[in-house]
Structure 1
Amino acid sequence: MDQMTTMPPQELAEACAQAMWDGDSTSQKLGMKLEHVAPGEAVLSMMLTEAMTNGHGNAHGGYLFTLADSAFAFACNTYNQITVAQNCAITFLAPGTRGDRLTASARERSRSGRSGLYDVQVVREDGTIIAEFRGHARTVKGTLLSSQTVAKSDDV
C-alpha cells in the first residue's frame, strides 16, 4: 500500500484541491472562491460582474457553465487521480444579474472504475436555482500530489 492511500480522505481531498487551485488561473481570475471540498464534493462561489453579463443584462451562460464546471472539476479530483470532463450538460432555469453572488455545489452521484457522474446546482444568494449541470468524468493517468507531498504532510 502506498502512502497516498494512508492519508485520511478529507485531508487528501483538501490537498488535492489546493494543488488544483494553485494552477487554476481561470477560476482565480474570475474571482471564484473555493468554499468547501470533501471527497466527491466541492462548493465554489463567484460574484457576477458587469463583464459577465450578456446583451440582455443577464449572466452570460458561459460564465455560469464555467462556475459549474470548476465545481465539478474540484469535486471529481478529490481522490488524487487526475480526472477530466468527458461530457457535460447544463440547463439554465433562471437568470442571474450583475451583483449576484452565485454558489455552485457539486456532488458525486456515481464513481466506478475510471468513470464518474457528478451533479452541480448553481444558486443565487436568495436560494433561487439558476442552473443544473451534469458532468461525466473520466480518470486518466497521473496524480495531483507527489509521494513527497504526502510524506511531508504525514510528518506534520
Structure 2
Amino acid sequence: MTLKPSDIVQRMMDSDSMSQWLGIKVLEVEIDHCKLQMTVREDMVNGFNIAHGGITYSLADSCVAFAANTNGSIAVSVESSISHLQKVMINDVLTARAELISKNAKMGTYQVVVTNQNNDKVAHFKGVMYFTKRNH
C-alpha cells in the first residue's frame, strides 16, 4: 500500500516528540514540499529574551524532514545549515516552507524559508537529505 504524502507526515508527527513540543501545526504537504507553523513560547527564549536559535533551526529541520519523506522513501539528514536574518520574539508566529532545489536517486537538497507573522524572513535553512532504500 502506497501512503499519501499527508499520511506519511502524519505518521512522522505522531512519533515526533520534538515537533510536538514545539507546537508545530502542519499546514500543507505535497511531494517535496511542506509548510509548517508554530508560535514561540516563553520557554523557548534565551538569556537575551529572544528565541533561542535552536527554535527556528528545529522548525526548519522538521519541515525539511517532512518534505523529503513525502516521496515514500525514508529520508535522513546528511547536512544542514541556517542563517538567522532577524530576531524572533515570544508570541511570534513562525511559518516554515520547504521546497526541493535539486535531487538525484540518492540525495536531495531542500531550501526552507522561515517567516514571522508579518511575512518578514527570519531564517534561511538548507538541508541535504539522503534517500534510503527503505520505504514508509
- TM-score normalised by the shorter chain: which range applies? over 0.9
The two structures, once aligned, show a CA RMSD in angstroms of: 1.1
Runs of at least 5 residues in structure 2 that lack an aligned partner in the other structure: none
| 1:80 lines up with 2:72 in the alignment | yes
Pick the aligned partner of 1:109 from 85, 101, 109: 101
More strand by share: 2
Aligned letter for 2:115? V
For residues 38-86 of structure 1, give each alpha carbon's deviation from its aligned partner in whole angstroms, at most 9, with x where no partner exists. 0000011110001111111111101110000000000000011000010
| TM-score, normalised relative to structure 2 | 0.96
- From the CA coordinates, give the structure whose radius of gyration is larger: 1
Deviation at 1:141, TM superposition (A): 3.2
Residue 67 of structure 1 aligns to a residue whose secondary structure is helix
Question: What corresponds to 2:30 in structure 1?
Answer: 38
| 1:99 lines up with 2:91 in the alignment | yes
Shifted more, 89-98 versus 15-24: the winner is: 15-24
More helix by share: 1
| 1:15 lines up with 2:13 in the alignment | no
For residues 117-137 of structure 1, give each alpha carbon's deviation from its aligned partner in whole angstroms, at most 9, with x where no partner exists. 000001000011000000000
